Amino acid sequence: MEGLKLLERAFRLEETEHAPWVPFVGVHGGKLIGVDAEAYLKSSKNIIEGISKAVEMYKPDGIPVVFDLQIEAEILGCRLAWSKENPPAVISHPLAEGVKLSELQLPVKTDGRFPVELEAASRLRKKYPELALYGLITGPFTLALHLMGTDIFMNMFEDPDRVNEVMNFCTRVGIRHAGMLIDAGCDVIAVVDPMTSQIDPDSFKTFVSPSAGLIFDFVRAKNKYSSFFVCGHAQQNIEVMCDCDPDNISIDENIPLDYVKEIALSKGISFGGNLKLTSVLLLGNEQDSRKEAVTCLDLGGNQGFILAPGCDLPMDTPESNLVAVTEMVYDEYSRQVVREMKQSSSLEPLNMEGHWIEGKVVIDVITLDSSSCAPCQYMMEAVKQAASDFGDRVIVTEYKIKGKDGIRMMLSLGVQNVPTTCINGKVSFISQIPPKSEIVKAIENALS
């Protein structure tokens, strides 16, 4: 696995053989190893185990070490409410409750849950030297909101100097945290600032851009890459985000990927996103996930695009959906099948009357097209070879799903994958090409 190299190519806007895949596994890692969110985020051992499981199952090119935007806030005195299925929530805001900014100390690496995160990062670094490790820091605006509460919005209007002071402090916290993560072995620093979706571009330029720019400069000076994550309705800020000069911006399903692509590439910045988290990855099935992945991959292209969900994966995201996305990343044939299958819902199954012939074995092979798809070609050859021993007692037909009749036959036979071989209407061999002896045996069974 050379995920880091692939991601570096994407960051430099060079063409990639496939779009790098970065599943944002946060507390979902807890699900993979059977522990709750709190037990997961408080233990480096659990994080290492969860991420290792995710690496094994989802074959990512890059992965975040920890996805928790409350780590810095907790150290700075925000109280947290822990839950079993989510990252913790900030429930108090020290600067709104009488604490003075001058009383807040810049954190050090032994504070709070930093040791858990940094140990996980350094061990994962050793375990996966070629995987791109993302170190996440809370974006300065979101951290300022944690510290000030929603007072920040009124203060932007009534007391901008105060907001700037807090933002300056949060920037220093961010730079310090980024430095720790880089020292622990992270390759990419993601500045995760979802709450910037709540402000307009002018406010962004006034309050956020100077801070974010300093963090990206710091990361660049360390010869590492940076990404600017935002989620929610932040389309208005994409340009100003790019102007902060990160190496990458990452967005969720609320912003059109083609829009981000156009803006980011015109400014020489790579971009990532935006698999639908709730309706597809969490609530949809494998086929929905395949279609969604192909849609994103086709829109994103192979230059400067990183495939990722828009935000932290919900804990209960079915593993099978993420495995389905993984399959789309690595398998061009599977992608082609999904593109062809998109037509299927408007088509009716074929009428099978007269399809079966008494005393004969009917073998239907559903392929993408055996003349252009290697696995389909091998499947067809194997079946034809095995059938040749039986003469006219066996009828072999190829149905190419590039044509409508092929898709209609696929629907009639209830076939989900390509290539698939059905013997007398029964799905017998899926995707893998069986040895000749197995096909012969299956034909003999059908004849007897």
Partner 1 sequence: MHKMSIPLYLVTGFLGSGKTSFLKHFLGQNQGKGRVAIIQNEFSSVNIDGREIQQLGNYRILEINNGSVFCVCLLGSFIKSLAAFIDDVKPDSLIMEASGMSDPVSLGQILLAPELKNKVYLAHVWSVVDALNFSRSIHLRNRILHQLRIADTIIINKTDLAAFETEVVMDEVRKINPFARIVKATYAQVDIKERNRALNLFPVGEDTEGQSSRPDLESVVIKTAREISRGKLEHFIGKIRDQNIRCKGHVRITGGKQVFLQGVFDDFSAEPLAGSTGPTELVILGNFGRGVNLQNLFETSCFDD
* Residue range at the interface with partner 1 (CB under 8 A); choices 84-92, 183-191, 405-413, 432-440: 84-92
| Cα–Cα distance for residue pair 380/366, rounded to 1 Å | 9
Q: Could you count the other beta carbons within 10 Å of the beta carbon of residue 2? A: 12
Per CB under 8 A, does 401 bind partner 1?
A: no
User: DSSP readout, 162-221?
Assistant: HHHHHHHHHHHHHHHHHHHHHHTT-SEEEEE-GGGGGS-HHHIIIIIHHHHHHHHHHHHH
* Residue range at the interface with partner 1 (CB under 8 A); choices 79-87, 175-183, 328-336, 392-400: 79-87
Per CB under 8 A, does 295 bind partner 1?
A: yes
Site residues (CB under 8 A) for partner 1, limited to 32-71:
none
Which residue, 92 or 303, has its beta carbon nearer to partner 1?
A: 92
Per CB under 8 A, does 116 bind partner 1?
A: no
The least CB distance from residue 298 to partner 1, in Å, is 11
Which residue, 233 or 426, has its beta carbon nearer to partner 1?
A: 233
* Residue range at the interface with partner 1 (CB under 8 A); choices 313-321, 361-369, 388-396, 410-418: 313-321
| Cα–Cα distance for residue pair 46/38, rounded to 1 Å | 10
The least CB distance from residue 302 to partner 1, in Å, is 19
| Cα–Cα distance for residue pair 436/151, rounded to 1 Å | 72
Per CB under 8 A, does 337 bind partner 1?
A: no
Q: Could you count the other beta carbons within 10 Å of the beta carbon of residue 204? A: 23
Q: Tell how many helices (H) and how many strands (E) occur in the chain.
A: 19, 13
Residue among 375, 294, 367 nearest 330 (CA): 294
Contacting residue, 91, 161, 359, 437, with partner 1 by CB under 8 A: 91
What phi and psi values does residue 321 have, to the nearest 5 degrees?
-70, -40
Residue in the structure block whose two tokens are 């400014």: 267
Per CB under 8 A, does 421 bind partner 1?
A: no
Per CB under 8 A, does 345 bind partner 1?
A: yes
Contacting residue, 12, 45, 127, 233, with partner 1 by CB under 8 A: 233
Per CB under 8 A, does 150 bind partner 1?
A: yes
Contacting residue, 312, 327, 364, 369, with partner 1 by CB under 8 A: 312
Per rule CB under 8 A, count of chain residues that contact partner 1: 65
Per CB under 8 A, does 265 bind partner 1?
A: no
Buried b (16+ CB within 10 A) or exposed e, 232-262: bebbebbebbbbbbbbbbbbbbbbebeebbe
| Cα–Cα distance for residue pair 441/114, rounded to 1 Å | 60
Per CB under 8 A, does 255 bind partner 1?
A: yes
Contacting residue, 3, 194, 246, 375, with partner 1 by CB under 8 A: 194
Helix H or strand E segment including 54: helix 44-58
Which residue, 173 or 433, has its beta carbon nearer to partner 1?
A: 173
Residues in contact with partner 1 by CB under 8 A are 80-81, 83-91, 93, 142, 145-146, 149-150, 153-154, 156-157, 194-195, 198-200, 202-203, 231-233, 235-236, 252-259, 274, 276-280, 282-284, 288, 291, 295, 299, 311-317, 342-343, 345-346
